[in-house]
Structure 1
Amino acid sequence: MKAAHSQSTKTLLLWTLSLLIAFSPLMRSSEACGVSVYWGQNLAQDGSLRELCETGYYSYVNLAYLATFGCGQKLALNLTDHCDPASGGCRSLSTEIQACQNRGVKVLLSLGGNNTEYQEICTAEDAKKVADNAYNTFLKGSNPDGPLGDVSLDGVDLDIEYPGSMGHWDDLVRALASYRSPQRKVYLSASASCSYPDTNLGKAITTGLLDYVAVRFYDDNLQCSCYAGTARILETWNKWSSSLPEGNQLFYGWWPSSNAGSQCKPEVFTNEILPVISSSPDYGGVMLREAYENVSILYPAAACCNTAGLHRKESLISVL
């Protein structure tokens, strides 16, 4: 009887393990996490899009930025010195974008930035128009004359930094999410100020429709600054983590640049901050404001989220 019971238990565990593996894409404990980066505003630092993706360090690349939109304005892409969208000079990026996607990197269109061209979305109807135009121009994949050529981006990122831009971002997120289907995943993300709640995107975040929120821990205030100490930073992280809607992931936004004076040094970030935040159940990874040549030091800590869940699965495997 003991042998039969043991065999029955082993069969049940094997069946359970098979379910864990089969449904792993739906489980937070096995979702792949990693590094997100903004590309398009720093020609010297960015390098080519293809080279960026070939490093193997990035899971998401945000094309920065769709700088003009909303309130009846025509959509306008601004990639600084990389290329000129108005003259069709950015259509050559379509092959680089596809090369990134072929490597499993998700390429998103980032709306906003710190310019003053967008400011607001005027009405819920305006939000729907912006979502429709952005989808048809950049995500649908049937517009060879579009700014990026005939390419289908993977989603949209909101980096709404203009002060007081509180209008209808939640309506925009809902309109973009309406394009999701069983056949098509449309990724949605947001870059939020570390001060909780984000005054611009707070309502959009609470919709629960975003895949991840990247909190900018390089904003110039004491909740973000290493001048205030890592304890204050981790306190702010925990506030965000405890308030994030179910199913969303939280990324730590870091700007490893000499022009961000209050930024934590790499050794402080990797030794004191990452080990703590990577244990959060909604930890998703690290967002970099721009490409970082030493990103390899971040990658191990950003490789997966909810390590406790992974340990539980490993325990199951060891029992078998």
Structure 2
Amino acid sequence: MAYKTQALVSLILLSLLTFSSSQPNNGLLGVYWGQGHREDDLKTTCDTGKYEIVLLAYLIVFGDGQEPFLYLYNHCYNHDCTGLEPQIKHCQAKGIKVFLSLGGPFWEMYSLNSTNDAKEVAKYLHTNFLTGKHGPLGSVYLDGIEFNIRWTKDHWDDLVKELHFLRHTKGPHFLLSAAPLCHIPVLFLDKAIQTQLFDHIFVRFYDDESCEYNILTNDTQPLLESWDNWVNLVPFGSNNSLFLGLPAAITASGTGFAPATVVNNQLPGLEVIGYVGVDCGIGFNAGITFYGIVVGLPANFIFEAPYNGKTLSLREATDCYFKV
């Protein structure tokens, strides 16, 4: 069977939303920031020079008539986050895009109950984060909104439509992205993706046996067939940029890890750009950095981490970020 390879870039990663242009060597590295109890502040994270996109995680409460609530763990929450304004502007001045991530693993705390509800949430997001007016993060113009939706499927299409309308009628322009699992029918974001209004769609081909590589049987067929389905769902030439994501190490996810040899030799059209570093990582400490090839290391491999003399095993470093 011939598998479609158009506009395909291989992004080897762990716990990371990444973006790329159509050219593999122009890949961008992005990182979630806001949920780690030992992570660096935002300015320091941007000053590492490792990231092109930082996603503020997360706006955890919104919709259904609820007062929106921004939760950045130990850093701040809601309107106490206005102190981040100069740090956000510092990052943007360095050319780093700053996104707001919606939802995340905070099930049942966010939902949309109608088209009008979606419009109200879009208006709130636009006014408070995208126009420079004073909001929970101060007076900022964020660069985009990310849909990190992990439960309930209703009216996300209405939200992306309204945000798209606002960016073209009210300005300024901003980006929209989504991070669905590989499962088809698409979970949660199916109708939203069908609008073809997302600028970037990162598909996570792991933690779902129906659409991932099986390392025990060396079976690539579920992944490749699922990729064909995604190419049909998000056709080449549409407004969406479609990307394939794989875990960067065998301990990076429950299932779905594919060794570099498999990616190079058995997944047609995939191009591994090369492993140049491991950043462990937002969620632990952005200053913990290990260099070298990591794919294929045993699960019990121990990294010596320059963080208060602490050692982290690969399994412990669950928020490592792999640049490819």
TM-score by length of 2: 0.68
What is the CA–CA distance in structure 1 between the aligned matches of 2:33 and 2:264, rounded to whole Å?
26
Aligned to 2:37: 43
Deviates more, 1:172-181 or 1:244-253: 244-253
Aligned to 1:150: 139
**1:132-281 alignment, distance < 5 Å:** 132-143=123-134, 146-162=135-151, 165-181=152-168, 184-224=172-212, 226-227=214-215, 229=218, 231=220, 232-245=222-235, 246-254=238-246, 256=248, 258=251, 260-264=253-257, 267=260, 271=264, 276-278=269-271
Larger Cα Rg: Structure 1 or Structure 2? Answer: 1
Q: Deviations over 1:272-291 (max 9, x none)?
A: 68984359xxxxxxxx9974
What is the CA–CA distance in structure 2 between the aligned matches of 1:199 and 1:41, rounded to whole Å?
24
Deviates more, 1:289-298 or 1:226-235: 289-298
User: For the aligned residues, what is the CA RMSD?
Assistant: 3.4
What is the CA–CA distance in structure 2 between the aligned matches of 1:215 and 1:130, rounded to whole Å?
25
> Tell me, what secondary structure is at the counterpart of 1:92?
helix
Contact 1:256 1:263 (C-alpha < 8 Å) held by counterparts: no
C-alpha distance 188-87 of structure 1, shift in aligned 2 (>3 A): closer
What is the CA–CA distance in structure 2 between the aligned matches of 1:273 and 1:134, rounded to whole Å?
43
C-alpha distance 202-173 of structure 1, shift in aligned 2 (>3 A): same
Tell me by how many angstroms 1:252 deviates. Answer: 3.2
Tell me by how many angstroms 1:205 deviates. Answer: 0.7
Contact 2:79 2:137 (C-alpha < 8 Å) held by counterparts: no
2:56 maps to amino acid? L
What is the CA–CA distance in structure 1 between the aligned matches of 2:260 and 2:24, rounded to whole Å?
28
Contact 1:158 1:191 (C-alpha < 8 Å) held by counterparts: yes
What is the CA–CA distance in structure 2 between the aligned matches of 1:193 and 1:103, rounded to whole Å?
32
Q: Deviations over 1:26-59 (max 9, x none)?
A: x956995422322222233x43323333333333
Structure number with the higher helix fraction is 1
Tell me by how many angstroms 1:93 deviates. Answer: 1.8
2:47 is aligned with 1:54: yes
Aligned to 1:77: 70
What is the CA–CA distance in structure 2 between the aligned matches of 1:289 and 1:126, rounded to whole Å?
39
Q: Deviations over 1:227-260 (max 9, x none)?
A: 4646133442343234214121123345557462
Contact 1:234 1:273 (C-alpha < 8 Å) held by counterparts: no
What is the CA–CA distance in structure 2 between the aligned matches of 1:153 and 1:204, rounded to whole Å?
21
What is the CA–CA distance in structure 2 between the aligned matches of 1:248 and 1:289, rounded to whole Å?
30
Tell me by how many angstroms 1:120 deviates. Answer: 2.4
What is the CA–CA distance in structure 1 between the aligned matches of 2:262 and 2:82, rounded to whole Å?
38
1:148 maps to amino acid? L
What is the CA–CA distance in structure 2 between the aligned matches of 1:148 and 1:270, rounded to whole Å?
41
> Tell me, what secondary structure is at the counterpart of 1:64?
strand
C-alpha distance 58-295 of structure 1, shift in aligned 2 (>3 A): farther
> Tell me, what secondary structure is at the counterpart of 1:43?
coil
Q: 1:123 aligns with which of 107, 114, 118?
A: 114
1:236 maps to amino acid? S
Tell me by how many angstroms 1:267 deviates. Answer: 4.3
What is the CA–CA distance in structure 2 between the aligned matches of 1:266 and 1:33, rounded to whole Å?
20
What is the CA–CA distance in structure 2 between the aligned matches of 1:104 and 1:256, rounded to whole Å?
26
- Between the two proteins, the alignment pairs up a number of residues equal to 259
**Percent of residue pairs bearing the same amino acid type:** 36
Aligned to 2:90: 99
1:175 maps to amino acid? E
C-alpha distance 267-156 of structure 1, shift in aligned 2 (>3 A): same
Gaps of 5+ in 1: 1-26, 280-287, 301-320
What is the CA–CA distance in structure 2 between the aligned matches of 1:274 and 1:168, rounded to whole Å?
35
Tell me by how many angstroms 1:141 deviates. Answer: 1.1
